[in-house]
């Protein structure tokens, strides 16, 4: 009887290992329980609400970053696009443009940034690191030029706009609701939608995807326009939340969302990842940052720990990828050996 129970327990943990999201969720629960003893304010409604609001901007961008990683690329420009999105809409409003028209202009410009990235990566074939790094600097430069380097405070914006980032619906911040809706929609599309399934094929084997009739360049253009679009939405929500268009908004966002996506199971080698995993990774990272603040850990140590988490996440992904390649090699060798033996 005890042997049967032991096998059941082992089987359960084997399933947990194979289900990345369940492992992260378990980590979040254990971490929260431990920190609640060290910092009594950690699990209070107000603190959790503040943490949820703070992580929503990163979480929305993590959705697009996951898609980019699955396709075999990534986007380093998302933080700068967040900043330029909020700046363009804010400065346009201060110049007398209707806030909603300003938002549309902002989104359109950000989509052009994404189109530019996608064309150079998908059509020309330039490495996404180089292109998105350049776009990161370009977009941030636009934000500084538009604001002349100074934060622009918005006064008396329409209530409907401030509602997006500052008000609650049924006790839940509206910005968090937007994040949840986008995450659920993104997760369903990644699992069920044919266009998003193509992203997995491209990330797994781009040559095979092209031979099977998938328009690789068109799909990649769509991927980078999606990351730019979600970054621009995040920027507009940030503007609504704080009421200030600042050129430094979104600095460091790209590293946080890449960390969240990789922790959630997205592979830097492409072909693997889920939106649910990225969301859970975002939750875990923000809970860790919140815990460090409550425990009064120096901000310098917070930066160090964030960098360490990113390195660990990438290292684990790399080792996992190597193990999978090793298993595939062993299987192919075993299959070849059997074929030789059978032929004899």
pLDDT band of residue 3 (cuts 50, 70, 90) is: low
Examine the pLDDT at 269 and tell me if it is beyond 90. Answer: no
Q: Are 252 and 83 in contact (CB under 8 A)?
A: no
What is the CA angle 314-288-37, rounded to 5? Answer: 140
- Best CA proximity match to 250, nearest among 5, 65, 23: 65
Per-residue model confidence as pLDDT tens digits over 125-163? 999 999 999 999 999 999 999 998 889 888 888 899 999
Residue 230 pLDDT: 97
pLDDT band of residue 302 (cuts 50, 70, 90) is: confident
pLDDT band of residue 339 (cuts 50, 70, 90) is: very low
β-strand pairing of 172-173 with 244-245: unpaired
The C-alpha atoms of residue 75 and residue 214 are separated, in whole angstroms, by 22
- Best CA proximity match to 152, nearest among 74, 230, 95: 95
Q: What percent of the chain has pLDDT over 70?
A: 87
Q: Are 84 and 140 in contact (CB under 8 A)?
A: yes
Q: Are 310 and 259 in contact (CB under 8 A)?
A: yes
Per-residue model confidence as pLDDT tens digits over 20-46? 788 889 889 999 999 999 999 999 999
The structural domains of the chain, with segments of one domain joined by +, span 58-280
Q: Is 143 exposed, middle or buried (0-12, 13-18, 19+ CB in 10 A)?
A: buried
Tallying the residues shown for the chain, one arrives at 344
Q: Helices (DSSP H) in the chain: which residue ranges?
A: 2-18, 20-38, 45-70, 78-94, 99-118, 128-147, 159-166, 174-192, 194-204, 206-211, 216-242, 253-263, 275-294, 299-343
State the chain's mean pLDDT as an integer. Answer: 87
């Amino acid at each position: 009887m005890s042997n049967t129970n032991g096998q059941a327990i082992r089987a359960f943990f084997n399933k947990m290992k194979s289900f990345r999201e369940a492992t992260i969720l378990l980590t979040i629960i254990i971490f929260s329980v431990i920190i609640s003893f060290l910092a009594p304010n950690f699990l209070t409604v107000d603190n959790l609400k503040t943490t949820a609001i703070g992580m929503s901007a990163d979480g929305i961008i993590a959705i697009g970053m996951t898609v980019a990683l699955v396709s075999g690329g990534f986007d380093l420009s998302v933080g700068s696009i967040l900043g330029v999105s909020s700046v363009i809409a804010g400065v346009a409003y201060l110049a007398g443009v209707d806030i909603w028209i300003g938002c549309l202009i902002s989104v359109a410009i950000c989509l052009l940034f994404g189109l530019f990235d996608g064309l150079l990566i998908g059509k020309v074939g330039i490495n996404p690191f180089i292109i998105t790094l350049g776009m990161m600097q370009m977009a941030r430069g636009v934000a500084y030029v538009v604001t002349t380097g100074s934060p622009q405070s918005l006064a008396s914006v329409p209530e409907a706009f401030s509602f997006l980032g500052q008000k609650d619906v049924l006790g839940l911040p509206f910005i968090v609701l937007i994040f949840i809706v986008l995450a659920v929609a993104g997760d369903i599309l990644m699992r069920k939608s044919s266009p998003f399934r193509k992203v997995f094929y491209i990330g797994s084997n781009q040559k095979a995807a092209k031979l099977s009739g998938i328009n690789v360049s068109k799909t990649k253009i769509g991927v980078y326009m999606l990351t730019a679009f979600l970054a621009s939405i995040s920027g507009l929500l940030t503007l609504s939340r704080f009421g200030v268009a600042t050129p430094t908004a979104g600095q460091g966002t790209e590293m946080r969302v890449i960390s969240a996506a990789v922790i959630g199971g997205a592979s830097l080698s492409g072909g693997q990842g889920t939106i649910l995993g990225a969301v859970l990774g975002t939750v875990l990272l923000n809970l860790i940052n919140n815990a460090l603040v409550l425990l009064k850990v120096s901000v310098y140590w917070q930066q160090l720990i964030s960098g360490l988490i990113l390195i660990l996440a990438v290292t684990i992904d790399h080792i996992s990828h190597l193990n999978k390649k090793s298993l595939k090699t062993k299987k192919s060798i075993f299959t070849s050996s059997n074929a030789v033996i059978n032929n004899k």
